[in-house]
Structure 1
Amino acid sequence: MEETNWIVITGPPCSGKSKVLERLSFLGYKVYPEVSRILIDNHTSNNINIEEYLKNKKDFEQDILSLKLQLEKRTNKNDIYFFDRGMIDSFAFIKFYNVELDDFDNYLNYRYKKVFFLEPVPYEKDKNRFENYEQSKQLANELQSAYKKYKYSLVNVPLMPIDKRVELIIKNI
């Protein structure tokens, strides 16, 4: 795996990742949004039924992996970029949804500089969030296990105001 200066912001659904990344972007940092949200928004804008699309979790996860791979290949590994979820998040979701994918390690071409794990905020459902509160807690465990499996040390970001979370992240880059 090639070393990078990329930073992953991860955590279970409803942990404030998107809000933290919006703030980082506002401060001038290079930020990539969550790939699954991009896919869902694209399908919605093309009048594709999301529930039908998401029935086949394997295809959905493969689409996410393919798009993440494209994104990583075109990103300068020497620049600091913040990613809303990394490639390893996909491993956790694949495991959570019991999707069989034999070649996952083939997608791991780059190593992230840092991974920040955001503790969840009070749970709210939105159009791109399909897991319930209990599933969100299970996914938190899967995410932590997945990153540990690939020898990452997670920097824990507790629940606090967005500006304090961002301050903690910037201080620990």
Structure 2
Amino acid sequence: MSINNRYIITGGPGSGKSSLLNALIHKGYKGFEEISRIVIREQHEINGDKLPWKNLADFAEICYERMSKQLDECNSESYCFYDRGIPDIIAYVRRGGIQVPEKYFKKSNQYNPIVFIAPPWQQIFINDAERPESFEDSMEIYRFLKNTYSDLGFEVIELPKVSIPERVAFIESCLG
């Protein structure tokens, strides 16, 4: 499948990415759940330490391996949407102040050059066990994500702060 059908939806925690992805899946698009949330759930279940706030390097490596497999699962001719992509790992690792492995950069070019970013949105922001960050953290993460995607040459398109169906329509209008 062409990389042109692989779209990333990114943004800080609590900005509506997962709800948007679920709506796209409901409309018949192929979508991939956020790997980092899965890994965090698994680590909580086994009382593990491979969490972004305990062991960022190992956490990032697990996410990288699983996101790489997600890329291979997009093999149809329809659009595929990812709740976060490998460039998100780069942004989080940069924010954590550790060295980004070169392979993360090499794999980042396997997505469409357009990325959709959900801006921080106080009215819909919530915390949960997999998302302990504050709204202020979410705003900082958003800035790291936006800068990282721009640095990597992606065209960053900010999603409007509108209802989920309106966000779906906005993305569809950008697909051409």
| TM-score, normalisation: structure 2 | 0.87
How far apart, CA to CA, are the structure 1 residues paired with 2:76 and 2:151? Answer: 22
Q: Equivalent pairs: percent with the same residue?
A: 29
Cα distance, 1:77 vs structure 2? 7.3
Determine whether 1:48 maps to 2:46: yes
What's the secondary structure of 2:115's corresponding residue? strand
RMSD over aligned Cα atoms:
1.8
| Alignment match, 1:136 | 138
Q: What residue number does 1:25 align with?
A: 25
Q: Is the 8 A contact 1:120 1:159 kept in 2?
A: no
Partner amino acid for 2:170?
Answer: L
Uncovered stretches (5+) of structure 1, i.e. residues with no partner = none
Contact 1:61 1:90 in 2 (8 A): yes
- Give the Cα–Cα distance (whole angstroms) in 2 for the partners of residues 117 and 100 of structure 1: 24
The higher-RCO structure (CA 8 Å, 6+ apart) is: 1
In the TM superposition, residue 78 of structure 1 has moved relative to its aligned partner by 4.6
For the 8 Å contact 2:118–2:159, the answer to whether it is kept is: yes
| Cross-structure match for 2:127 | 125
Structure 1 residue 87: Cα displacement? 1.1
- Asked whether the equivalents of residues 8 and 85 of structure 1 are also in contact (C-alpha less than 8 Å), the reply is yes
1:108 match: secondary structure? helix
Q: Residues 20 and 164 of structure 2 are in contact (CA less than 8 Å); yes or no, is this contact kept in structure 1?
A: yes
Count of equivalent residues: 169
Q: What secondary structure sits across from 2:5 in the alignment?
A: coil
The CA distance in 2 between the partners of 1:161 and 1:109, in whole Å, is: 30
Q: 1:17 Cα deviation (Å)?
A: 0.2
Q: TM-score, normalised by structure 1?
A: 0.88
